[in-house]
């Protein structure tokens, strides 16, 4: 089964670390990153989709995606 996450954050090193942590946990980049201006905070925000192949199991929407193995 393949699972999907969309990581978001301000355009700073913390966002890069978030994506790097996901990659180190076996997630792979999916598509291009997104970049947009947040008028409410007056800051740029980034987004990156990641996917991960996990063992076949029933999908449970109450289960955290990071808990799938």
Domain extent, residue 17, equals 2-56
Q: What pTM was estimated for this model as a whole? A: 0.85
- Asked whether residue 25 is assigned to any structural domain, the reply reads yes
What does the DSSP assignment read for 24-56? HTT-EEEEEEEEEEETTTTEEEEEEEEEEE--S
- Asked whether residue 6 is assigned to any structural domain, the reply reads yes
Number of domains the chain contains: 1
Q: Does residue 68 register a pLDDT over 90? A: no
pLDDT, tens only, 16-42: 999 999 999 999 999 999 999 999 999
- Asked whether residue 24 is assigned to any structural domain, the reply reads yes
């Amino acid at each position: 089964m393949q699972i999907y996450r969309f990581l978001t954050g301000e355009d700073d090193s913390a966002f890069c670390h978030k994506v790097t942590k996901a990659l180190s946990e076996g997630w792979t980049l999916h598509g291009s990153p997104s970049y947009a201006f947040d008028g409410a905070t007056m800051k740029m925000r980034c987004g990156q989709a990641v996917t991960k192949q996990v063992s076949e199991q029933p999908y449970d929407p109450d289960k955290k995606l990071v808990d799938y193995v």
